[in-house]
């Protein structure tokens, strides 16, 4: 089991599952959900080591070290806290 949190609410999700639903519940906005628009760009507060490797589309965005696209990334294990 993995967990996505905003530091207040914790949402359990399956490991390596899409984060779109859980992140949306925490208030992350989405648009394309295909890694093209950048709307879901989110800062990871803790747990970056639990995240999937950067996707090809994330690499194109040139994200900062603590940023991920919620529609393109996954949690492989443990808890990840995001800044919403
Ligand atoms: S919603 Fe467009 S990049 Fe994630």
7 Cα–ligand 1 center, Å? 22
Q: Domains of the chain: which residue ranges? A: 2-83
| Topology given in CATH for the domain delimited by 2-83 | Ubiquitin-like (UB roll) (3.10.20)
State mean pLDDT over 25-50: 98
Model confidence pTM above 0.85: yes
Q: Which atom of ligand 1 is nearest to the CA of 32?
A: 2
Reported as a pLDDT band with limits 50, 70 and 90, residue 42 is: very high
Beta bridge partners, 75, equal 51
User: With a 6 A CB cut-off, is 32 part of the ligand 1 pocket?
Assistant: yes
| Burial bucket for residue 59 (CB in 10 Å: 0-12, 13-18, 19+) | exposed
């Amino acid at each position: 089991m993995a967990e996505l949190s905003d530091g207040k609410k914790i949402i359990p999700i399956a490991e390596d599952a899409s984060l779109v639903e859980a992140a949306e519940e925490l208030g992350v906005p989405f648009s394309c959900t295909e890694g093209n628009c950048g709307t879901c760009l989110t800062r990871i507060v803790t747990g970056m080591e639990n995240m999937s490797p950067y996707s090809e589309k994330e690499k194109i965005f040139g994200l900062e070290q603590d940023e991920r696209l919620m529609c393109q990334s996954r949690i492989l294990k443990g808890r990840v806290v995001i800044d919403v």
